[in-house]
Structure 1
Amino acid sequence: MAKIKHNNLLDTVISVMTNAKESGVLHLYAEGEKFDGRQIQIKGKKLFHFGTTGYLGLEQDYRLKQGAINAINSYGSQFPLSKSYISQPLYAELESLLYDIYGSPVVITKNSTLGHLGVIPSIVDDSDGVILDHQVHWSVQSAVNPLKLRSVPVEMIRHNNLEMLEDKIRKLQSKCKKIWYMADGMYSMYGDYAPIKELMQLSEKYPQLHIYFDDVHGMSWKGNNGSGYVMSVLKKLPDRMILFGTLGKTFGAGGAVMVCNDKKIHQRIKIFGGPLTFSVQLEPATVGAAIASAKIHLSEEIYEMQDDLYDRISYFNQCLQKTNLPLIINNNSPIFYIGAGMPETGFNLVNRLIEAGFYVNLGMFPAVPVKNTGLRITISRHNQKQEIKALVEALEYHFPKALAETHTNLDRVNFAFGRGNNKMTTSTQSRSNLTLETYNSIKHIDPKLWNETVGGNSFYDWKGLKDLEGVFKNNSSPENNYQFYYYVVKNDKQECILATFFSYGLWKEDMLAPESVSVKLEKMREGEPYYHTSYCLSMGSMITEGEHLYLCQDKSDWKEAFNLLLEQLEILEKKLKPQYVILRDFNTADKAIKAFLHNKGFVQVAMPEAAVYDQFNWNDEASYIETLSKSSRKHFRKDIEAFRDKFEIQVLDELSNIELEKSFELYQQVKKNNLGLNTFSYPLSLFKHMNLSPQWEYILLYLKEEKMLQVGVMFCYKNSNNIYTPAIIGMDYEFSREYNVYRQLLFQTILRANELGNKRIDFGLTAGFEKHKVGAKVLEKCAYIQTKDNFALEALDWLRKD
């Protein structure tokens, strides 16, 4: 069977960021002929600058500027030669000064990204293993990626989760010579830190453990000689540690620096460091500025600057403590993160602050989970206390207004970040006379209403869902128990604007991942059945397919109806605490839904293709063939008609016990061989229940040459809205390819639906090519998801790269 066509994560990221750009908060241009660090001009407007990563303001220091000017005057705008041949005259002085700052040997790199790309593949041997904090900087993750081609095991842990880290160390210690844990010293979004002391304890416990720190955001504003946050805790660099600092950002110049005490590693990188060897070296102006900065770092003045910055950080903290603003991490770093929750709230708030005269950065996906959008505010020595206070006052004024305009409230923001209740109690305002009705069983909903809306598709009409509720409860296996929730939104005329249902249950996290990922995970699940599984709150259910949402988009208040649904889902989230919320089976071409859900904190992901057949304008097999394209007719005669006489076809309303057991066994074969859509197997109780329902019937294929051996079955649901749904398939894989069993089942399904006078066949997901060949229309489908964090998505992405 054909596999899923998977979307590229990059496409999703670009889509989200394009939305931010169109909202006026991303890819902006600074203007003006002069820049002082305190203010920045955007679109003709002077703004107080709270978005810099030059926390000490050294980039505006006259000594660094003069150092750059002198270097240009002496050596030109660049020194166009690889450092492997000749380093420009200023390099030796800079290396000596950096050695004095750290008290350890250093290697200067063009920037931290190139530095990681040069260092990591060189220091990690094929016999080593790597463990990544899932929030470690993208540049580190990118540099680790090529190691997968060398079969180096790469694992990922949840952010700062030491218990998970130790578990991974134990897993790798028997097969790896060295185990490299890679993390940031200080993280760039929330301004939180790595648990360095605890990591040192783990390093003592496990001699194989080596630690690789990217501390570019901790540089200069912290530590002896401005050596950074990591060094402020350690005081002296351990032998089994590699540290990266930056000569840009707070240091005020450009480039980066690797620090390590291991002479062998130091010389290895110094002599040949991949892109470090072949890339052009730092420009004389950059080195001249860096030398001037290093001299400041080695003077007492650096501590005066650090104290000056800390005074501003403390003042900002004091101002924030008097408010109810949702500060996500409380610490003494120059990075502050004010939660906004939904992207549209973040867009609104950034634009409001720009109007009020302040520039702040927007934290957004993929740097943070999409529903953890927020304001990333940075404090520098450029910022004066009066504008710090003014910024807090502007935030206090505009934050509740941004919440109201985007139809959310502080409780929802706090919930998105896993925080408790706050004193601010802004409530969501309804803009219409819509009413949302909630039910925990289809039994409480009018069958006519349901079947005229959601139930007009596939086999989740009123009767079908009533049956599913009975099957998926009180089962011994957790994956076979589901809770169902139903929602109907009506206007004041009692017209249905929206209707849908959700289920809560255990899913495999790789359900929509590439088959290669599922193959690896299934091997791991042989010893740990629920590895990489999570509870999900999903529109529809694991067994249902098709359009699970009835939404009148021709009504002006459809967005408000959708808002009511999302608010109700968040209430349910608080109770159930799912890892994922999934809205599924949407048309990928629906740009209005896409924009709406992106703004509400959902990320679009591709789903398998769906297929429908509705061309019942023929009376017999010959006229059916004429409806096919020329290539499909050729396919039909070669792969279907040529084998038709090999089979005996039976259509049964009910299966005997022997037939049911055989059909279930054939279904399990399909399940085992089709990991492109990896789900838990349906329980036998479902098939027994189906066998008692008059809505189900069965198309069975028997192979005449094998003594009437059953080799195929299609489990078909007869929807009350005259739709035929071949919902589940079973095949004998010993004969399926030789006799084209799957294609024969598709054709027999079309014949049967026509015989019954159905208006449509919902063929469901996957195998779009095969279904197209028998005349079905293939539909591109997508889902929209929210996650508590990005860990599972990133961990599965690493498995995909393996």
Structure 2
Amino acid sequence: MAKIKHNNFLDTVDNVIADAKSAGIIHLHAEDSRLSGRYITINGIQCYHFGTTGYLGLEQDSRIKTAAVQAILRYGTQFPLSKTYIAHPLYAQLEEKLELLFNNPVIVTKNSTLGHLAVIPTVVRDEDAVLLDHQVHWSVQNAAQLLKVRGIPVHLIRHNNLEMLESLLKKLSSKVSKIWYMADGVYSMYGDYAPVKELLALSKKYPQLHLYFDDVHGMSWKGKNGMGYVMSQLENLPEHVLVFGTLSKTFGASGSVLVCSNKKLYNQIKNFGGPLTFSAQLEPSAVGAAIASAAIHLSDEIYSLQDELKQRIDYFNRLLSKTKLPLIATNDSPVFYIGTGLPATGYQLVKRLMDGGFFVNLGLFPAVPVKNTGVRITISTHNRFEDIKLLTEALVIHYDKALADTGNSTTRVGKAFRMNFQETPPLPIKHEVLRLEEFTRISEVDKSLWNDTVGKNNMMDWDGLQFLENTFQGQAAQEHNWNFKYLQIMDDLNQPVLMGFVTESLWKNDMLSPPAVSKKLEEQREQNPYAQTSRVLALGCLFTEGKHLYVNSKHPQVNEALACFLEYLEALSQKLEVSLTVLRDFDTGSIWSKTFQNQGYIPIDMPDSCVVFELDQKNDAAYSNYLSKRSQKHFKKDIQPYEELIKMQIISAPGTKTIQLFYGLYKQVKAKNFGLNTFTYPLAVFQNMSKHPNWEFIVLKAKSDDRILGVMFCYKNYSGTYVPSLIGMDYSYLEAFQTYRQLLYQSILRARQLKFTQIDFGVSASFEKRKLGATLIPKQAFLQTDDNFLLEQLEMMRTSN
């Protein structure tokens, strides 16, 4: 079947990051001539520094800095040789100290990202499988992607979900040798921990389970000799557990370190771990600094530093407990996360704090779900107690103001994080003048009002929606029962500011994924028809395409109406407990894009919409005269010669047997179309078409023997828009009669005959439709979900094909 354009996840991320950059809160530059750790200067403002990951302040320790300088003076700025051949003169000393520190063999790597790239493809064998906590650091996920080329199964597990982990262990245990579970020791956004002891217990129950921890955020401030959080949970390091620590961040130097008690694995990694062999080794300055830091870690001084940090963490926790600020995870790590829910609130809060002299980080998509935006604060020994007190006071003041300015509330924040927070002023904006009305049947909506606003588009006129209601309710299968909601927002003069409709229905998660992903999932659905499906609240419905939302952009209260609409959707999605909310089919670059993103929606590219405009002005007998010269060549070669082989018939009310025949042709097309992967419609849809005056069927037959080659299912909108909505074809004759192209062309001829002004050709086969004069309109959708698991799972499947 013809191809369609699919969204690239990287484009979505780029769009979100660009939005944050334009808000002036990321991609910043420190302007200090010297750094102390306590302050950092941004945009001319000296800020208290609450964004470092150097939790113990060792990066400013004079002994470590001196060691780095001396190493440069003695050995140069770098030692440009592969460590496989010969190591820098200081390396042996560093490795000796680190083995004393960890009481286990170690391997030093350039950084954790290269370290994972070296270790993961080496230790994971072709007969193994990998399970990733879906919040594990990007560097681990990226390294695991390399395994897919070798056919190694890689699956995501919901964050710290041991039940889901055990379920997959049972499923995979008979199919693979080892099962590697990969997680962070301390998670960098919320500061929460991996359930290390519970995972060890699970590995005793399932001996195939091997554990791989990235503990770079747990290093130095936790554990004996600063070995880190994970090592602090272990009496000793089992051979089936690998732990990555860091020599940067809290350690105060540069590089990373793998701790491995399994001698066989250790030797394999040491002998040939890709980047270990082919990448440059640590610079002399980094090695010298790491040796000096290791000496501190091996002394009792490390415990004094850990205690200093703990006192500050405890102090901040006590101060926060006296406020109503929504702290997402309460623990004793140096990472704190204050939820804002909406990105707009997060942007404003971070900017307010920076302008007030406090540097903090923003947690935003894709590091966290877009609705779980928040302020990430890190505490270090650089922070004085009075600094922490000032920060808390500023948070209380600016948090409430950020809520007020963005129409947010702590109640909404709590719902976004599935937590209960006591309400604090300000409450959400009240829409006193505007009136939102919700209807569950189109018959309750004024027909003229609807048709003059939303109804001019596609098959979304009043009669078309009544057809959809009657068709997609009371069906046997859950995927064919849709919950319709119509809404209108009126001003005090009873004029519409916004109108539209939404549906709640079951979607395949891969609906807009590349065909290779859908084909793989359809294999799973042979056993479980509802594998990888979700309840979705969507603007419009799966049967319609185009402008589902009427917005009077010139109305003085349009922004208030949009805010009211989005609050309505938020409340409805929570009431219906859907997994995903989708605002569909907006023109790329829509003026509402920023509004949607600020309210917690992420943009994705949709397939192009294909529309033939001003058809009523193309009156020449030969329609091909209106095509470009290039398209005319296509027409003469691929369409015109086949016209003499076929004949076209318009059927308005086909009988039962004919509809069954048409339905069979539709299913042939549906079975091959993975580009837009939806559930197959039931026969009842087509039976209802045959009884509805707005539907007609363009039937293509062979002149020679009346064989039915294909059928186009077309809706006639009252406003003069012709909608070839679905297609059915006999693939036995596809090439011989060029059935698809003929049906497209015959649809144009039929619309001209009816004197219609426009043809909505839908989203597939844009190349073929453009050659017949259709204009391609780039489209976007905006998604909102409670967590990133579904999106990341589909992206992982996409990158494996």
Same fold (TM over 0.5): yes
Superposition pairs for residues 339-738 of structure 1, below 5 Å? 339-430=339-430, 433-590=433-590, 592-617=591-616, 622-705=621-704, 707-738=705-736
**Cα distance between partner residues in 2 of 1:468 and 1:82:** 67
Comparing 562-571 with 68-77, which one deviates more in the overlay? 68-77
Q: Distance in 1 between matches of 2:406 and 2:53?
A: 30
Q: Residues 142-192 of structure 1, C-alpha deviation per residue, up to 9 Å, x if partnerless?
A: 111111111111111111111211222222222222111111111100111
Q: Which residue number in structure 2 is paired with residue 33 of structure 1?
A: 33
Alpha-carbon distance between aligned partners in 2 of 1:336 and 1:786, rounded to the nearest angstrom:
24
Contact between 1:430 and 1:560, CA under 8 Å: does it hold in 2?
no
Q: CA deviation at 1:638?
A: 2.2
Contact 1:109 1:256 in 2 (8 A): yes
Q: How far off its partner does 1:709 sit?
A: 2.3
Following superposition, the deviation at residue 514 of structure 1 comes to 0.4
Q: What is the rounded CA distance, in whole Å, between the counterparts of 1:143 and 1:784 in structure 2?
A: 29
Give the whole-Å Cα distance in 1 for the aligned partners of 2:731 and 2:134.
40
Matches within 5 A, 1:44-443: 44-430=44-430, 433-443=433-443
Q: What is the CA distance between 1:623 and its match in structure 2?
A: 2.7
Deviations 1:554-589 (A, max 9, x none): 334322211110011111122111111000001013
Greater mean alpha carbon deviation, residues 256-265 or residues 433-442? 433-442
Q: CA–CA distance in 2 between the matches of 1:639 and 1:16?
A: 43
- The 1-side partners of 2:374 and 2:108 are apart by 34
SS in 1 for 2:326: coil
Offset of residue 217 of structure 1: 0.3
CA displacement at 1:738 relative to structure 2: 2.6
Identity of aligned residues (%): 53
In the alignment, the residues of structure 1 paired with residue 499 and residue 674 of structure 2 have an alpha-carbon distance, to the nearest angstrom, of 32
- 1:411·1:425 contact (CA, 8 Å) conserved in 2? no
Query: C-alpha separation between the residues in 1 aligned to 2:491 and 2:62?
Result: 66
Do structure 1's residue 751 and structure 2's residue 749 form an aligned pair? yes
Cα distance between partner residues in 1 of 2:647 and 2:379 = 77
1:788 aligns with 2:783: no
Residue 19 (structure 1) aligns with: 19
1:665 shift after superposition = 1.0
* Distance of 1:339 and 1:193 partners within structure 2: 18
Matches of 1:328 and 1:678 in 2, distance apart?
37
Matched residue type, 1:757: K
Comparing 317-326 with 485-494, greater Cα deviation is found at 485-494
- Aligned with 1:567: secondary structure? helix
Q: Give the AA of the match of 1:686.
A: V
What is the SS of the residue equivalent to 1:779?
Answer: strand
Distance 2:429 2:8 in 1: 37
Do the aligned partners of 2:616 and 2:756 also contact (CA within 8 Å) in 1?
no
Q: CA deviation at 1:103?
A: 1.1
Aligned equivalents of 1:619 and 1:119: distance in 2?
A: 65
The SS at the match of 1:150 is: coil
Matches within 5 A, 1:744-783: 744-783=742-781
Residue 621 of structure 1, CA deviation: 7.2
Greater shift, 633-642 or 544-553, is seen at 633-642
CA deviation after TM superposition for structure 1 residue 392, in Å: 1.1
Number of equivalenced pairs: 800
Length-normalised TM-score, structure 1: 0.98
**Does the CA contact (< 8 Å) of 1:49 and 1:358 recur in 2?**
yes
State the 1:347 CA deviation: 0.7
Deviation of the 1:113 alpha carbon: 0.5
* Contact 1:104–1:260 (8 Å) recurs in 2: yes
Whether the aligned pair in 2 keeps the contact of 1:547 and 1:586 (CA below 8 Å) is yes
Q: How far 1:426 sits from its partner (Å)?
A: 2.5
Q: CA deviation at 1:46?
A: 1.0
Once the 2 structures are TM-superposed, how far is the Cα of residue 639 of structure 1 from its aligned partner?
Answer: 2.0
Q: Residues 503 and 538 of structure 2 are in contact (CA less than 8 Å); yes or no, is this contact kept in structure 1?
A: yes
The question of whether the paired residues in 1 share the 8 Å contact of 2:119 and 2:273 is answered with yes
Q: Retained in 1: the 8 A contact 2:324–2:421? A: no
Residues 32-55 of structure 1: per-residue CA shift (max 9 Å, x gap): 211111111111211111101011
Distance 1:40 1:502 in 2: 48
Query: Could you tell me how far 1:300 is from its partner in structure 2?
Result: 1.4
Q: Aligned AA for 1:711? A: L
Letter in 1 for 2:611: V
CA distance in 1, matches of 2:373, 2:301: 37
Deviations 1:113-140 (A, max 9, x none): 0101111111112121111111110001
Counterpart-to-counterpart distance in 1, 2:107 and 2:512:
43
**Superposition RMSD in Å:** 1.5
Which deviations, in whole Å up to 9, do the C-alpha atoms of 1:650-676 show, x marking residues without a partner? 101101111100111111111111110
Bigger shift: residues 526-535 or 7-16: 7-16
Change (3 A) 1:355 1:658: same
Alpha-carbon deviation of 1:648?
2.8
Q: CA deviation at 1:695?
A: 1.1
C-alpha contact (below 8 Å) 1:618/1:624 kept by paired residues = no
Aligned 8 A contact 2:409 2:423 in 1: no
Measure the CA separation in 2 of the matches of 1:41 and 1:618.
Answer: 63
Q: Secondary structure at the match of 2:233?
A: helix
Q: Indicate conservation of the 8 Å contact 1:502/1:541, yes or no.
A: yes
- Structure 2: segments with no counterpart, 5+ residues: none
**What amino acid sits opposite 1:271 in the alignment?**
N
Helix, strand or coil at the partner of 2:723: strand
Per-residue CA shift, 1:346-393, capped at 9, x if unaligned?
Answer: 110001111221110000011011121100001111111111111111
Displacement after TM superposition at 1:298 (Å): 1.1
Q: CA deviation at 1:237?
A: 1.0
**Alpha-carbon separation, structure 2, partners of 1:634 and 1:519:** 35
Matched to 1:309, the amino acid is L
Q: What letter corresponds to residue 638 of structure 2 in structure 1?
A: D
SS in 1 for 2:615: coil
1:740 alignment counterpart:
738
Give how far 1:2 is off: 2.0
**For the Cα contact (< 8 Å) 2:411–2:423, is it kept in 1?**
no
Task: Please identify, of 261-270 and 653-662, the stretch whose mean Cα deviation from structure 2 is larger.
Answer: 261-270
* 1:431–1:405 distance in 2 versus 1, CA, 3 Å: farther
Please give the per-residue CA displacement for 1:682-705, whole angstroms capped at 9, x wherever unaligned: 121121112111111111112244
In 1, Cα distance between equivalents of 2:715 and 2:451? 15
Tell me by how many angstroms 1:618 deviates. 6.3
For the residues of structure 2 that align with 1:362 and 1:484, how far apart are their CA atoms? Answer: 37
- Alpha-carbon distance in structure 2 between the residues aligned to 1:394 and 1:32: 23
Per mean C-alpha deviation after superposition, the further-off stretch among 295-304 and 64-73 is 64-73
Instruction: Specify the code of the residue in structure 1 equivalent to 2:790.
Output: A
How far is 1:69 from its partner?
2.2
Any idea what SS the aligned residue of 1:31 has? Answer: coil
TM superposition score normalised by structure 2: 0.98
- CA distance in structure 2 between the aligned counterparts of 1:178 and 1:704, rounded to whole angstroms: 63
